[in-house]
Amino acid sequence: MKYRTESDTLGEVKVPIDKYYGAQTQRALENFKISDEKFPRSFIRAYGIVKKACAIANNKLGVLDKQKMDLIRGAADEVIDGKLDDHFPLVIWQSGSGTQFNMNVNEVIANRAIEKSGGKLGSKLLHPNDHVNKSQSTNDTFPTAMHVAAAELVVNKLTPSLSELKKSLSKKATDYKKVIKIGRTHLQDATPLTLGQEFSGYAAQIHHSIIALNDLLKFIYQLPIGGSAVGTGINVPTNFDKFSVEEINKITELPFTIAYNKFEGLACNDTLIRLSGILAALAGSMMKIANDIRWLGSGPRCGIGELTLPANEPGSSIMPGKVNPTQSEVVTMICCQVMGNANTVTIAGSQGNFELNVFKPVIIYNVIKSIVLLSDGADSIRTKCIDGIEPNLERIKQHLDNSLMLVTILNTKIGYDNAAKIAKNAYNKNISLKQSAVQLGFLTSKEFDEIVKPEKMVGFDAK
C-alpha cells in the first residue's frame, strides 16, 4: 500500500494515499482498534448535512469566502449522498464527544474538496479545522448531527413503517369484526370477543407509539449548533445558529429549530433517552403482538390453531412438512435487542458530567440501530405474516363452544355462586354448560339458549 504524509499538532502521520481522511483519523484508527461497530450511513449523512449548512452560514456571515464554501459544499454533498462512505473507517468506540469522527468528516471534506479543485491532498489549501470546522466544535456539531439523523429516521423510515403496520392491523380488525372467539386472560379461558376486536387492540398499540414519536419530535428538532465548546458560542459569529438551522431545514425539509438552551443540548442527551424509551415501549408492543400471533397460530393440530399463518419457508431440517412462525420469532428477537439498546442509552445518557455528556457515540449508535430494526421488523411482519393471516373458523368455533367461561353471562340471572357451580360441574363431569345448568336445576334448556348467546357477549350484536 502506498502512503502520503499528513500532519497535525502532534506531528507527521502516514496516511493511505487512496483515502481522503487525514492525520487525526489515522491516529484514531491506530488508537481505537476495538470491535467493528462503525457509524451508520444515516449518521454520516447527517454530519454531511451539518457541515454543508455550516459552510453556507459562514459564507453568509462573511467569515468564509465563496470559493471555499463551494468546495466544502460540493464535498459535503458527496458525504450526504454516500459516495465517500469508504473514507469513514472509525468505530464508535472512541472519544465520548465524537471528536475523532468529527475530524474524520472535516478531513474527508477538506481533502476531497482539495482534490476536486486540483490541489494536492493534505496541502491545507482547505484546512479541516480552520475552514470545514469553522465556527464549530465537536461538542455542538456531534449532538446536532445526532438529532438530524434521529429525526430523519423517525420521520422518513419508522413512522411510515408503523403507519403501514397499523393500517394492516386495522384492516384485519374490520375484516374479522364478526368472527366471535373465546378470550383469554392469565392464559386461561375468558369471556368471548371478536377476532376483530383483538386486532383492533394491536392497531391501537401501534397508533399510540406513532403519537408518542410525533409528540417528541418537537424536542428532537431542537439543534444545539452554535453552542461551540460548552454552550457559550465562543468563536461563533452572531446568527450562525440561525443560518445553519435554516440551511439544515432546506436540505432535510424538516422543521428544525435552534435549541432554546444550548448548555442542555451539549451537557446531556435527555431527548434521545426519551426517544429510546419510546422505542423500548414500541418494542414491548410489537413483542406482545408477535407473541399473540404465534400463539394463536400454534399447532397446526396440537396447539391453539385459531389463526393460519403464511407458510413462508420449511421450518425444520429433519421434520418434513413443519412450518414455523418465523416472522414472529424475528420480531421478538428484534424487540429484545431494542430493549437492551434502550438500557444502554439510558445508562450512557446518565453519564453527563458538567458541560458535556461523553457517551454520545454509543447513544446515537444504539438509537439508530433500534429505529432501523423496528422499522424493518414492522415491514417484515406486515408483508410476510399479518397481511396473509387467515382465521381458522372451525377451530375458533370449537374453542368457543367448548369454553366454560360463557357461563359469565348468567351472573345477572342466577348469581355468581350458582354460575360457578354450573361451570365446575360441567368441568368435573366433562359435559356442556347447558347440560350442567339443566342437571343442577338452575335453568331450563330453553332459558339457557335464550341467555347464553356468544354474539350478545362481545359488546354489540355480532350477528
Catalytic residue set? 186, 316
Q: Pick from 202, 206, 143, 145: which is nearest to 172 by CA?
A: 202
CA distances from 382 to 15, 194, 337, 389 (A): 47, 21, 19, 10
DSSP 7: E
- Exposure string (b/e) for 151-178, b if CB count within 10 Å is 16 or more? bbbbbebbbebbebbbebbbebbeebbe
Q: Distance between CA 31 and CA 28 in Å, rounded? A: 5
- Please confirm whether the linkage preceding 454 is cis (ω < 30° from 0): no
CA 149-151-154 angle, to 5 degrees, is: 105
Which residues have CB under 8 Å from 192's CB, separation 6+?
A: 180, 181, 182, 183, 400, 403, 406, 454, 457, 458
Helix (H, G, I), strand (E, B) or coil at 78: helix
- Exposure string over 370-399, b if 16+ CB within 10 A, otherwise e: bbbbbbbbbbbbbebbbeebebbeebbbeb
3 state SS of 257: strand
Chain-centroid distance, C-alpha 405: 39
Cβ neighbours, 10 Å, residue 250: 13
Is-contact 436 429, C-beta < 8 A? yes
